[in-house]
Amino acid sequence: MCMCVAGRWGRNGERASAAGRHKKKRRRPRECWQTRDFYSMLMKRRITQGASIDRVGSFVGDLCCGGRVAMITVLLQFLSLISLARCDLFTSVADMQSLLETERAIPQMLGNYLDKEEARLEKLRKLAAAYNHRNEMSIVNGLKDITNPINAFLMIKKKIFDWKSIENLMSSNEADSFIHDVVSGDNYGVRYPTEEDLSGAATGLLRLQDTYRLDTKEIADGRIYSDQGNYTFDARDCFEIARAAYNEQDYYHTVMWMQEARERLAKEAVPSVNMEDVLEYLAFALYKQGNLKYALKLTEELFQLNPLHSRAKGNVKWYEDLLEQEGVRRSEMRRNFAAIVNRRPESVLGNAERTMYEALCRGEVPVSEKDVSKLYCYYKRDRPFLVYAPIKVEIKRFNPLAVLFKNVVSEDEMERIKELAKPKLARATVHDAATGKLVTATYRISKSAWLKGWEDDVVERVNRRLDLMTNLEMETAEELQIANYGIGGHYDPHFDHARKEETKSFESLGTGNRIATVLLYMSQPRFGGGTVFTEAKSTIAPTKGDALFWYNLHRQGDGDSRTRHAACPVLVGIKWVDYILKNCGETQILLFRGSPTMATSVSQVLLASEGCLEIF
């Protein structure tokens, strides 16, 4: 379960001010996102159609005017608790679609709660009226009652039980059970994003920006290439994206988005974010990127804006000292500004592979016309069933071999597979090379589900069809894996097979290495989402209903490094894929007889007696 971290101002709860990093670390308490930023985002972005912000404000105002502040508190408590229910909506577009259903449920949900509260308050009103009548009677009989010991005893007893009844009625608010039902999904299935989702969505957006070289201003204007979105960003939105980058110590993106936030804030009639916060974050990010003079300049602007700011004056002195240490004279500290330096951080992949990966995703790597001229299509008819229902095959690449089986799954079958997968979707995992266990990783952002052949006829049909397509038996194949990608969903360059040193990769499956991969595209994103091979320098765009096939291993059974591949981030649209991974038995090896020709490299793949692969 994800918990909101109160006071998350910098990493580990500490504000990373310039002075605070090198002197005594100062803490600045901040409200939890779920009680401040999250509510503003929720009100702004997640109000149902027809329920404008003004109407929500009117609704809250009506409650307050009715003296129901406690009810408001309950509603706020409800919103903060439901935000803890799920933490990874951003990893799957299919899960984010549930937010639309959530919005449809909110009017009924709040209406039911308010009806119950109205009934309880009506009981209290009637009780108050009854006590008014009793008070009139006590004026007449009160003194007589308390002077008689029997009457006094009975009155004390009666008042005790009366008060218990009143107390129970006043405290019988059903908010706790109501909130429990909502969060558990028993009645409403409400799911709201959390701080982790907001951070994940921002990181995904930054990944898209880098991969597809998108301009910060155009993104903030809601435009991606020729696609104009329904919303634009205000200064607060840009600030939140920048702060998400800052929390990951990504000062490269912090600079870009804080600058955009500053520019938009200057144009806003009603500021959506505090300029002091923007200047402080931007100054520190510029300092971390090697722009000391600009950091000093912005910090002085902050001090002029608010001379009582707790850190501004000290940070001015600190930046001056740093410049002096670099040999800059005080007379030059505010003059002769060079261009801002904002270097992109090093990639864990290595900058060379990252550059190739991103260029392939953008379609910028040239393809040899000579190599393309050798590619062709044919009908696969090498099995009795296929004589009457041949499969269309398009050769995409010879070295290493990759083919596309065309139109192998119907629209109804794809929808049924998605329907089966949605309830099972969970954060996608990878094999830990050291332990062989499945773990989540930041370099794979999607959700996946596994389907067994016996779960539905459509799964078994797809498995039989894969046998016909590849001539590989499915007994040692892994279960059908369905993946749905979220905001900036991707899978960094990787191998499907285990390398020699990764001896435990498939230990939990009880199988050997992965011979081949079939990637079935069940959707076609508008932009992005391609499959790229960084060593082979080739890109294959997803085409709905088609299946991409390649071998992962050499003839000797060791891994083919040329099959290193990646899933490009989905820029616009939805990406659903099926992974079918064919494994050898644990002790089996690959046997190849002769050498495959272009015409027979796919259509004459047969199975050896050991149950693995043999090519004639």
% of the chain at pLDDT higher than 90: 38
DSSP H or E stretch at residue 275: helix 275-288
Q: Evaluate if residue 328 carries a pLDDT over 80.
A: yes
Strand partners, 451: 480
Q: Evaluate if residue 10 carries a pLDDT over 60.
A: no
Q: Evaluate if residue 544 carries a pLDDT over 90.
A: yes
Residue 577 pLDDT: 87
Question: pLDDT grade, residue 76 (50/70/90)?
Answer: very low
Between 460 and 32, whose confidence is greater? 460
* Mean pLDDT to the nearest integer, 288-296: 96
Handedness of CA 221, 223, 224, 230 (dihedral sign): positive
Between 82 and 149, whose confidence is greater? 149
Render 304-366 in DSSP notation, one character per residue: HH-TT-TTHHHHHHHHHHHHHHTT--GGGTTS-PPPPP-PPPPPTT-HHHHHHHHHHHTT-S-
Strand partners, 577: 483, 521
Question: pLDDT grade, residue 185 (50/70/90)?
Answer: low
Render 484-533 in DSSP notation, one character per residue: EEEEEEEEEEE-SSPPTT-TTTTTTTT---EEEEEEEE----SEE--EEE
Q: Evaluate if residue 44 carries a pLDDT over 50.
A: no
% of the chain at pLDDT higher than 70: 64
Q: Evaluate if residue 177 carries a pLDDT over 50.
A: yes
Q: What is the pTM of this model?
A: 0.69
Residue 19 pLDDT: 39
Instruction: Give me the chain's average pLDDT, please.
Output: 75
Residue 334 pLDDT: 93
Residue 573 pLDDT: 84
Give the N- to C-terminal CA distance of the chain in Å, as an integer: 53
Query: Per mean pLDDT, which range of 139-143, 242-246, 269-273 is the poorest?
Result: 139-143
**Single-letter residue type at 216:** T
Cα separation, 472 vs 466, in Å, equals: 8
Cα separation, 435 vs 581, in Å, equals: 20
Residue 210 pLDDT: 93
Residue 88 pLDDT: 64
DSSP assignment letter at 584:
-
Q: Evaluate if residue 158 carries a pLDDT over 90.
A: no
Q: Evaluate if residue 278 carries a pLDDT over 90.
A: yes
Cα separation, 391 vs 387, in Å, equals: 9
* Mean pLDDT to the nearest integer, 353-360: 93
Cα separation, 172 vs 458, in Å, equals: 51
Q: Evaluate if residue 308 carries a pLDDT over 60.
A: yes
Question: pLDDT grade, residue 265 (50/70/90)?
Answer: very high
Residue 415 pLDDT: 93
Q: Evaluate if residue 358 carries a pLDDT over 70.
A: yes
Q: Evaluate if residue 141 carries a pLDDT over 80.
A: no
Q: In degrees, to the nearest 5, what angle opens at C-alpha 183 toward C-alphas 179 and 186?
A: 95
